[in-house]
Structure 1
Amino acid sequence: ICCIDNLKNNNKEVSEYINNLKDEIKSFKDNYNTGNMILDIIINEKSDICSKKGIKFICDINFSKVDFIKPIDVSSIFANILDNAIEACDKIHDEDIEKYIRIKGTISKAYFVIKCENSKVNNIKFKKNKLLTDKMDKFAHGIGTQSIKSSLDKYDGELLFEDEKDKFILNLYIPLNQNTDSWVD
């Protein structure tokens, strides 16, 4: 958006920039199609990162009936979930331990449910039901989970963690009975 804003007085460059973005988006559509263009871009980008890092990535998300969630919140929720899962897998140095991320999004009863499971070796710490970062710079980190929670709060969603010895599971529940049919006016 900033790029387009900076190019707004040069129609040729704006047109060229938009066409390049369209080409990128088309290339993403071939891999994952969740029913949401923003989510498709995020999922495809994170899948590519996982492939380069040797992380098995499994994704099954149907987001087509969840059009009330604003793009900024789609981005905040899914980018942070997957960034955290990728970071956890990056800490695995034992070649006998499989690095994997499984993310599923589906409608169950009156909720859109997102479940992300990833392998891990690090110990997870909680304080007052909040996940604590294990990074050295505590001030600048740990914001991802807060961002997810902040986005979920807008939709009366709930975030639950399951911490097991070798895997971490994050569950999100977003009620479907929102007051709006869509974020688009």
Structure 2
Amino acid sequence: MKIAYEFSMLCTYIFEALIVNLLFAVVFIKKYGNIKHYTILFSSYGTITIIHTFNSTLLNLSAFIIFTFFISLILYEGKFSKKVYYTMFLILIMTVTEVIALFILKILFKNLTLSMQEIIILAIISKTMMFLLVKSFCNNLNKNTNKIPEDKFLALLLISATIVTVLYMFISITSNIKIDTNKSIAALISAIGLMFSSMLIFYIFEQSIKEQTNLKEFALLKQKSELDMKHYKILKENYDNVKIIEHDIKKHIRLIDEFAKIGNNLEIIKYIENFNEDMQYFSLKPISKNKALDIVLNEKMQIAQNKDIKFTFHIQNVNLEFINDIDICTIFSNILDNALESCEKSENKEIILEIYMVNGKFITIELANSCYIDPVIQDGELITSKFNLSDHGFGMKSIVKTVKKYKGQVFYFYNNEELKFITNISIPV
């Protein structure tokens, strides 16, 4: 029976490790590959199994706290406060499910002695409940990188610590004493109430962070949209100035003629050079049949040229008239800005843009750019590599939001062999 008991405890802690991993994998980003990840994970909880043999409730609780937090630090990327937050959540869930399981057994077995067999049943009930609660919680979670408000975090820490202390006292006082069925039922109801209260507190807290994040994203996306519009208007005004220059071309020729009559060749050369620079800056090279697109492409081509980035494009005769000029600016400015930024960090600096029609039903925009840093794509969402995660990544979000206006879709993937990042946008006509 002893061997069966130890084996059952080992299986229990392996299951517990998988529950912890289930939650952390949703809220954090894994650092390592599966072999290294699960080796460290199961080794840590194997150590907890050994500690369990000392039969000390306080020691078991302390080991769970230490090793769970250790795993969050070693195996996952994320904010320190967020790791404390979710470690605390797991401790609370583990403790409350064990208390509930204990009082269920006290009701089922009137002469509960916590024999090996009863401890195995206790573990099965508590870990099953723990899994169901964590799984349910994960289904409603939103990956957010927003900073946890310090005042709310400290309040939650205090509440959780108080609940865990009360539950620990519950276990310590009642585990080895006999209480009648009515008191066991009352204690069970109290424990279940604590469980739902704890879940509700964490859920409300999580929702408040999610709401804050959504409001911040909305404000930043609106700000970025306004900047895109302003930028487009400035570009349009600049290129419209070429008409003024063309209108004044006779004046320029007359001035050059005056310089020629007095033999001032140096002034002629200098004047023509300045004039050519202005014309190069203002002149709009026709690329497509859409003026808004040409304005954006001309600007990005000039930037690419200044940064020694090879920029080529293949644009079919597609009609983009149904897309608002500002939206064209938002889509193409953002994907090309991302591409230019990526190319700056790469050895082989190249951007290839293709726009073509598919089966007469979809316009496809495909952009391939050099990318020597393997991007993180999690759950179909691109995770920015910039330090301040909460304030970046809005270029891609702005693209997705704009494309959805036209019932289109945005896909992206990384080609490891060619070291290129591919962005594919499909918009129905």
Q: TM-score range by the shorter chain?
A: 0.7 to 0.9
1:17 and 1:117 map into 2 onto residues whose CA distance is 29
| Corresponding residue for residue 352 of structure 2 | 102
Q: Does 1:155 align with 2:409?
A: no
2:369 and 2:240 map into 1 onto residues whose CA distance is 36
Q: 1:138 to 1:79 in 2, by over 3 A?
A: same
- Superposition TM-score, scaled by structure 2 size: 0.34
Q: Kindly, what percent of the aligned residue pairs are identical? A: 35
Q: Any idea what the Cα deviations from partners look like across 1:124-157, whole Å, max 9, x if unmatched? A: 1112211111011222210000011011101110
Q: 1:122 to 1:27 in 2, by over 3 A?
A: same
Q: 1:58 to 1:19 in 2, by over 3 A?
A: closer
Query: What SS is found at the alignment partner of 2:352?
Result: strand
**In structure 1, which of residues 138, 144, 152 is the aligned counterpart of residue 395 of structure 2?**
144
| Corresponding residue for residue 171 of structure 1 | 424
AA aligned to 1:129 is: G
Q: 1:136 to 1:21 in 2, by over 3 A?
A: farther
| Corresponding residue for residue 40 of structure 1 | 294
**In structure 1, which of residues 65, 68, 91 is the aligned counterpart of residue 345 of structure 2?**
91
Asked whether the 8 Å contact 1:103–1:116 carries over to 2, the reply is: yes
| Corresponding residue for residue 125 of structure 1 | 376
1:18 positional shift:
8.6
Q: Any idea what the Cα deviations from partners look like across 1:96-142, whole Å, max 9, x if unmatched? A: x3210000101111100000001111121112211111011222210
| Corresponding residue for residue 20 of structure 1 | 241
Q: Does 1:71 align with 2:325?
A: yes
Q: 1:72 to 1:18 in 2, by over 3 A?
A: closer
1:65 positional shift:
1.2
Asked whether the 8 Å contact 1:62–1:105 carries over to 2, the reply is: yes
AA aligned to 1:27 is: S
Unmatched 5+ residue regions in structure 2?
1-228, 231-236, 246-278
Query: What SS is found at the alignment partner of 1:77?
Result: helix
Asked whether the 8 Å contact 1:42–1:78 carries over to 2, the reply is: yes
Q: Larger helix proportion, structure 1 or 2?
A: 2
Q: 1:146 to 1:33 in 2, by over 3 A?
A: same
Query: What SS is found at the alignment partner of 2:396?
Result: helix
Higher relative contact order (CA 8 A, sep 6+): 1
1:21 positional shift:
5.9
Q: 1:135 to 1:70 in 2, by over 3 A?
A: same
Superposed structure 1 runs of 4+ greater than 4 Å apart: 16-19, 21-26
Asked whether the 8 Å contact 2:239–2:282 carries over to 1, the reply is: no
Quick check: which has more Rg, 1 or 2? 2
**C-alpha root-mean-square deviation of aligned residues, in Å?**
2.3
- Superposition TM-score, scaled by structure 1 size: 0.77
Unmatched 5+ residue regions in structure 1?
3-15, 177-185
Asked whether the 8 Å contact 1:80–1:148 carries over to 2, the reply is: yes
